[in-house]
Chain A
């Protein structure tokens, strides 16, 4: 009975070519709709719930290995780690006191010159579930999703610098696009000279690059880029990358700059998701009011 069904199936219905054309055009339609309009996010979320068990099982060996390693820590290494952390903590505490004083002073100065206080941000920890299995992309999935109020656009960092940005949220996890992704750009400032530019992911390597930087720019290897905070997405002053190589080829109008990310973009387990409380759309109102008020004064 089974064989007869197979037989009928094979010889009935539309021809393979028709079927290919149908499914290929369906795929292309989906591609177009997904890229252009992003209508399919809800479908993706519901399908991702189906895929969740598979992803859980796939990360199981790694998690078991981590747990086993945690159990196998020796007393000696724990004591050493504890000592190191204690020293780090003391150093950090001293710096924190200084930072608090500076923040207070900064706030006072800002009120003196009537600037709005810098926007703060809250943060939450998340653990990397797994890195994207695609050679074309630099993305990781973390275990906090829209249930934990994570939103697309939030900034992700580790203890050393910017790691990336949340680009898509699912109920129980979210997708982080790393700063080394080719399409990813971070507005930055050179710490030494204050020059503002945009740091882009190199794509095929775990590096960052600056495009269209004139040959005469004052930049050297060892320089550090921090976020400029101009975009309203990234909080200002967080380390992003370190310049490792500057090539000044006279044949090209632009210098070729290679940077390495400060954060351990490819090797970390715990990340911080920052929820920025910034309201970036306040500026444009003021010029409008001044424009309106000036003609009135002129008439008088």
Chain B
């Protein structure tokens, strides 16, 4: 399968589509878990986090189009209005495309504030649509940005380890 057998492990080697699809499915699953009460408020939007990770990691591969499609699936899963998640994720993918080169200059921990900004933008778009439709604003909804940003850090560490393991195994 992995016919790209480089002699030296490169940082830029493409992640397998399998891994991308798997993480996205797991994220949808995570969001569908029976969250309630405080857990629901603090639940990170795993789909947004995973999408953002791949958008930043593979900017040529995962772009606005895929973010939009995943958003449509999220809309169906959450029974929200068609286009609500899709618009929010498209905006997030766009912001990540604008910023991914700048982010590469920073250390992983220094990237958190910028990731937090992008996630907040996503949450704001989502909440604005809801506000437009229902004329209510649930302010503590935005607490999810913070947990999302930190779960992005966690996800980055875990996925980089996973990819590192794959690269170590690859030449064999």
Q: Measuring CB to CB, which residues of chain A are less than 8 angstroms from any residue of chain B?
A: 1-3, 6-7, 9-10, 16-17, 19-20, 23-24, 26-31, 33-35, 40, 43-44, 47-48, 50-51, 54-55, 57-59, 61-62, 130-137, 139, 141, 168, 175, 182-183, 203-204, 266
Contacts and interface: CB of A to CB of B under 8 A. Distances in A.
Given A136-B130, A136-B138, A141-B79, 14 more contacts: A2-B14, A9-B60, A19-B65, A20-B94, A28-B83, A30-B82, A31-B83, A34-B82, A34-B83, A51-B73, A54-B29, A133-B35, A134-B78, A135-B140
Contacts, number: 139
Contacts of B67: 23
Nearest to B79: A175
Contact of B61 (A6, A29, A137): A6
Residue of B25, B34, B78 with most partner-chain A CB within 10 A: B34
Nearest to B40: A135
Contact of A55 (B77, B84, B93, B97): B77
Given A27-B90, A133-B35, A19 B63 contact: yes
Interface string B22-55: 0001001101111110001101000000000000
Given A27-B90, A58-B34, A62-B34, A132 B79 contact: yes
Contacts of B93: 20
Contacts of A40: 82
A59 B58 CA distance: 32
26 contacts: A1-B4, A9-B60, A9-B61, A16-B63, A16-B94, A19-B64, A20-B93, A23-B68, A26-B68, A29-B83, A44-B82, A47-B72, A48-B76, A51-B73, A54-B25, A54-B28, A54-B29, A55-B77, A130-B34, A131-B36, A133-B43, A136-B130, A137-B80, A168-B79, A204-B138, A266-B36
Contacts of B25: 54
A interface: dominant SS: helix
B91 A20 contact: yes
A47 B12 CA distance: 34
A24 B90 contact: yes
A135 B41 contact: yes
B137 to A, nearest CB: 9
A54 B79 contact: no
B interface: dominant SS: helix
Contact of B136 (A3, A203, A266): A203
A96 B115 CA distance: 62
Contacts of A43: 82
A6 B87 contact: no
Contacts of B81: 31, 34-35
Nearest to A12: B60
A136 B134 contact: yes
Contact of B34 (A6, A28, A44, A59): A59
B133 A35 contact: yes
A55 B32 contact: yes
Given A27-B87, A59-B34, A139 B138 contact: no
B129 interface: yes
Contacts of A141: 79
Given A31-B82, A51-B76, A2 B4 contact: yes
Contacts of A28: 83, 87
A131 B97 contact: no
A19 B55 CA distance: 14
A276 B41 CA distance: 36
Contacts of A27: 68, 71, 83-84, 86-87, 90
A34 to B, nearest CB: 4
Nearest to A59: B34
